């Protein structure tokens, strides 16, 4: 008795019983079978016949190429930039007469969305999220059989390049701060539009004196960020120079009621606007200075609030009739100028005015207290017969006090001579 076993090999794979791949019935006398496929495959039929003596004979028949009833092998690019329209090409389709393709997109097995329109002829779509996708076209025939075709593709996006940036300090001030213009730019490898985001940036672009770091990064149209770039800059500022005081009229004493004009002059290394802070000056021009010793101080302040050291002058309002100076009351008169805290003396004038009819064996002397050596140095000495004037400029940072002395051996000067002096100060 002869027996026969039929098997099929699909696309060169291992042969398996034909019932694994096809429907129908094959006997020793032949028969029919039907293969359902959604793609074109190569089929071989293998028949193993065993005769009555147990011998086996294998017969191979190339069933040939079997095509699906419906075929729609569309193509897509392997990689597409996010948001870009790309073509789904379907150059030739068969078996779709009277049927419509249903398109679906998945990402990691989950449904995904796209924009655009796909028909039986393909079309153009865009996807707005990166990742790996599978596009599927599917249709069902009148017998309920489903046919589909799939293609994979990747949606890509590259982060923008790190920005380049710079800072330019402008000498425009507000609330003691300086304006800083920040400039930054970035490019995107995909050509996407980019926006810049800052960290540590002042909302009004004004920064205090000192070192600053502002960070900037680029963001593309799809929300992908570059790395941060540091923009380092320093807002530098120099204080104004110590003012120079000018007094008109000058000299170490002024008659009561005299209009005295006192001004100051300073420069700023950065060219900033300067204002002055005064102490002891009623107005730029005033006749309201009191009798006696007057101290006027001033400092310069630039538009950022940086201050110069103080400077000061001492002068007297006095005359022989109204007083205001210091009067000789005996043969030895000593006047002490104890200075101003934090300042040294850079100039002085000491005057003992002559008295009519006096002629004596007088002398005058000025000593200064040296803050470096801690001793009193003689600065001026001279003999005279009637009154004396000393005037000297001093290097700053040495003398903080003055001792002004006058000796006369005649009492005709007592209670008559108004002794006055003027002093200019330098603050460290």
pLDDT (tens digit, 9 = 90+) per residue, 291-324? Answer: 888 999 999 999 999 999 999 998 888 876 555 5
Distance in angstroms (rounded) separating the CA atoms of residues 112 and 104: 8
Tell me, yes or no, whether 73 lies in a domain.
no
Compare 274 and 420 and report the one with higher pLDDT: 274
Q: Do residues 365 and 279 share a domain?
A: yes
Q: Do residues 88 and 150 share a domain?
A: yes
Q: Do residues 258 and 178 share a domain?
A: no
Q: Do residues 181 and 274 share a domain?
A: no
Q: Which of 89, 124, 156 is the last residue of a domain?
A: 156
Instruction: List Cα–Cα distances, 159 to 153, 189, 216, in angstroms.
Output: 20, 8, 14
The predicted model scores a pTM of 0.65
Q: Is 52 left (phi over 0), alpha (psi -120 to 50) or beta?
A: alpha
Peptide bond preceding 141 in cis form (omega within 30 of 0)? no
- Residue that the structure tokens 């005037």 belong to: 391
Q: Do residues 279 and 421 share a domain?
A: yes
Q: Angle at the Cα of 332 (from 331 to 336), degrees rounded to 5?
A: 150
Structural tokens at position 219: 């963001």
What pLDDT, on a 0 to 100 scale, did the predictor assign at position 249?
94
Structural domain boundaries, residue 18: 3-66
Domain count, the chain: 4
pLDDT (tens digit, 9 = 90+) per residue, 77-111? Answer: 999 999 999 999 988 766 677 788 999 999 999 99
Other CB atoms within a 10 A radius of the CB of residue 180 amount to 20
Residues whose CB is less than 8 angstroms from the CB of residue 16 and which lie 6 or more positions away in sequence, other chains included: 7, 8, 9
């Amino acid at each position: 008795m002869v027996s026969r076993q039929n098997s099929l090999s699909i696309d060169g794979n291992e042969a398996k019983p034909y019932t694994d791949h096809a429907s129908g019935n094959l006997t020793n006398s032949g028969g029919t079978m039907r293969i359902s496929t959604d793609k074109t495959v190569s089929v071989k039929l293998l028949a193993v016949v065993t005769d009555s003596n147990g011998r086996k004979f294998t017969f191979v028949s190339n069933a040939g190429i079997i095509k699906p009833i419906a075929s729609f092998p569309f193509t897509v690019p392997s990689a597409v930039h996010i948001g870009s329209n790309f073509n789904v090409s379907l150059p030739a389709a068969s078996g779709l007469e009277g049927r419509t393709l249903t398109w679906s997109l998945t990402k990691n097995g989950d449904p995904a969305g796209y924009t655009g329109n796909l028909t039986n002829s393909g079309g153009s779509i865009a996807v707005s999220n990166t990742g790996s996708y599978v596009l599927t076209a599917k249709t069902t025939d009148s017998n309920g059989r489903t046919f589909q075709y799939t293609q994979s593709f990747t949606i890509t996006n590259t982060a923008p390049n790190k920005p380049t940036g710079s800072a330019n300090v402008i000498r425009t001030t507000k609330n003691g701060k300086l304006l800083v213009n920040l400039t930054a730019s970035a490019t995107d490898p995909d050509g996407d539009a980019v926006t810049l985001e800052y960290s540590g940036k002042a909302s009004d672009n004004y920064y205090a004196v000192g070192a600053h770091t502002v960070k900037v990064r680029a963001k593309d149209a799809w929300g992908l960020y570059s790395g941060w770039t540091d923009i380092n800059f320093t807002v530098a500022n120099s204080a104004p120079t110590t003012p120079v005081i000018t007094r008109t009229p000058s000299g170490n004493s002024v008659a009561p009621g005299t209009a005295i004009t006192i001004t100051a002059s300073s420069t700023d290394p950065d060219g900033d606007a300067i204002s002055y802070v005064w102490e002891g000056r009623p107005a730029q021009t005033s006749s309201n200075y009191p009798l006696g010793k007057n101290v006027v101080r001033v400092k310069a302040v630039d538009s950022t609030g940086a201050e110069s050291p103080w400077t000061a002058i001492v002068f007297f309002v006095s005359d022989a009739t109204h007083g205001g100076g210091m009067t000789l009351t005996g043969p030895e008169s000593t006047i002490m100028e104890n200075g101003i805290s934090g300042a040294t003396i850079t100039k002085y004038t000491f005057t003992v005015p002559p008295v009519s009819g006096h002629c004596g064996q007088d002398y005058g002397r000025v000593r200064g207290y040296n803050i470096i050596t801690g001793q009193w140095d003689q600065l001026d000495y001279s003999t005279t017969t009637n009154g004396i004037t000393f005037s000297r400029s001093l290097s700053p940072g040495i003398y903080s006090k003055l001792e002004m002395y006058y000796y006369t051996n005649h009492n005709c000067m007592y209670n008559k001579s108004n002794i006055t002096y003027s002093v200019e100060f330098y603050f460290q």
